[in-house]
Amino acid sequence: MKRWHLAMLLCVLYVLADFGLSSAQVAQPPASKKEPPGPAVTVPKPRTGGVPQPRPAGPAERTQAVSCFDEAAYARAKKQDKNLAGAQLCGADLKKIFLPGADLKGANLSGADLGDARLEGAMLQGAVLSRANLAGAVLFRANLEGARLDGANLRNARVSSANLKGADLSRADLEGASLNESDLRGANLERAILKNAEALSVRFASANLRYAKLDSANVKGDRYGRRADFAGANLSEATLSQSQLEYANLEGADMSRADLTGARLEGANMKKAKAARAIFNRAGVAKAHCQEADFSDGQFQGADLAAADLTFAKLVRARFQGANLTGAMLNKADLTEADLGDANLSDAHAYSTNFRAAYLAGANFRNASPFRAIIDLRWKELLRGQKLGSDKMFESIRWAQ
């Protein structure tokens, strides 16, 4: 073979070898990039002897509704089974049910219909009766201590001699209900409706009756000691217009901004009551005991306060236009800036009473005893022209400039 043939053969072999290598590289898939190694994860060893950790609830468990109606308990109730403590009877139809003396302690009867039910003597301590219908129901001598009756309908219900201590009756409707001799000490009756209710000798001591409506309610007592007890109760901003509160015990009660227009409070005990801005227009407050009470900015237009005891009472800026204060005890009372225009203070006792800056035009002081009272000088001629209890009275007055 000639030399140049050999060189040609070597060139062909070189080209073919180079072409085969390139084809292999193209056919081979590109190598995947390796991710950098992540941080080492330490798998904790299971704890032995420790408290097991709670397993989180799954979606089905979280959405599962909790029923408060027990068919078996409902069937027992309908059969007049009286052992129903803790029964779940939400929304149950128990209208006119007959369960006197039944044990319903801790039962859940929220939203249930118990209209005209017979539950006298029933044990309902701690029971839930929120928004339940108890209209016309009989709960005579029932024990509802600590029960929840918020928003319940108790219209015309008979709840006499019942135990409702600490019960929640907020926003409950008790219009026309009978609560005679029941115990509501410490109960919550905020915004409750007690219009035309009868509550003779009821104990409301320390109860919350803020914003409650007691218009035309009969809460009167008598001179023999049987009386409604509101001692220390919260009656602020409550409405008691035309209510009967004769001989009621309101000692230390908060009556601020309450509306007692036309109320009957004869002989009531309002000692140390907090009644700033309260309204007593045309109210009967004769012979009431109001020592050390605060009636600042109160309204007593046309009210009857004959023989009322207002000793040490705070009556700053109170309005007594046309009021009857005949024989009232005003000793050491503070009537600064009070309006006594056309008021009748005949036979009133006003020892060391402060009338500074008070308005006295047309006031009647006949036979009154303003001994050492403080009165503005501008009313000197008014009192000079009236026959006071004695000449010493006029001479003892301290005239303020």
Beta-carbon contacts of residue 99 (< 8 Å; ≥ 6 apart): 77, 80, 82, 84, 117, 118, 119, 122
What do you get for the CA distance between the two ends of the chain, in Å? Answer: 153
φ and ψ at 324, to 5 degrees?
-100, 110
Calculate mean pLDDT across residues 150-175: 98
**What does the pLDDT look like over 86-145, one tens digit per residue?**
999 999 999 999 999 999 999 999 999 999 999 999 999 999 999 999 999 999 999 999
pLDDT at residue 256 above 70? yes
Region class of 360: left (phi > 0), else alpha (psi between -120 and 50), else beta: alpha
CATH number of the domain at 250-400, please?
Answer: 2.160.20.80
Strands 398-400, 354-355: pairing is: unpaired
Question: If residue 269 lies in a helix (H) or strand (E), which one and from where to where?
Answer: none
Q: Cα separations (Å) of 137 from 50, 159, 174, 196, 254?
A: 55, 8, 11, 17, 32
Q: How far is CA 126 from the centre of its chain?
A: 18
Region class of 91: left (phi > 0), else alpha (psi between -120 and 50), else beta: left
Beta-carbon contacts of residue 64 (< 8 Å; ≥ 6 apart): none
Please tell me whether residue 107 adopts helix, strand or coil conformation: coil
Q: How big is the chain, counted in residues?
A: 401
**Residue 181: CA count within 13 A, CB half-sphere:** 8
Percent pLDDT > 90 in the chain is 80
**What does the pLDDT look like over 184-239, one tens digit per residue?**
999 999 999 999 999 999 999 999 999 999 999 999 876 666 789 999 999 999 99
pLDDT at residue 65 above 90? no
Query: pLDDT-based confidence at 73, cuts 50/70/90?
Result: very high
What confidence score (pLDDT) does residue 67 get? Answer: 74
Q: Can 90-221+230-235 and 250-400 be said to share one CATH topology?
A: yes
Q: How far is CA 355 from the centre of its chain?
A: 37
Query: Where in the chain are the domains?
Result: 90-221+230-235, 250-400
Query: pLDDT-based confidence at 175, cuts 50/70/90?
Result: very high
CATH of region 90-221+230-235, choose from 3.40.50.300, 1.10.540.10, 2.160.20.80, 3.40.50.280? 2.160.20.80
Does the model's pTM come out above 0.95? no
pLDDT at residue 356 above 60? yes
φ and ψ at 349, to 5 degrees?
-105, 120
pLDDT at residue 58 above 90? no
Does residue 288 or residue 19 have the better pLDDT? Answer: 288
Whole-number average pLDDT of the chain: 88
